[in-house]
Amino acid sequence: MVTAACLLIDADGAIIGAIAPPPTVTFPELLRFPTNPAQPATFFKADAYREAGGLDPRYDLAMDTDLWLKLARTGRIQILPTEVLARFRLHPDAKSVQDRERLHART
């Protein structure tokens, strides 16, 4: 798996923020660090995805977090700390915008 920064853009393409990669992405660190790798800026091989068991739809808003944890247990993760590998457009129909309260709820 490879991960880097992801720029947040608005509906017009203007940069409105960024998601930096976590400082480390070992399994124990992912459990402790409050920010996981940005899904749009994270890439992995198909065989690693299959070996990790893929996405688990039971987690709805945390499917990517679950996948990162599984990938961290099965292989090496490379962080590109100064690179931007993606842009994520925030718009009213995005699941992460519509479910923002539930996404950030603490249980």
> Using one digit for the tens of pLDDT, what is the confidence trace for 65-87?
899 999 988 888 899 999 999 99
CB-hemisphere CA count at 13 Å for 69?
Answer: 14
Interior/surface letters 78-103, b for 16+ CB within 10 angstroms, e for the rest: ebeeeebbbebeeeeeeeeeeeeeee
Q: How far apart are CA 4 and CA 36, in angstroms?
A: 11
Domains of the chain: total: 1
pTM greater than 0.85 = no
Cβ-contact 74, 92 below 8 angstroms: no
Tell me which residue range forms the domain holding 85: 2-103
Residues 11-56 have pLDDT tens digits of 899 999 999 998 887 888 888 876 789 999 999 999 999 999 999 9
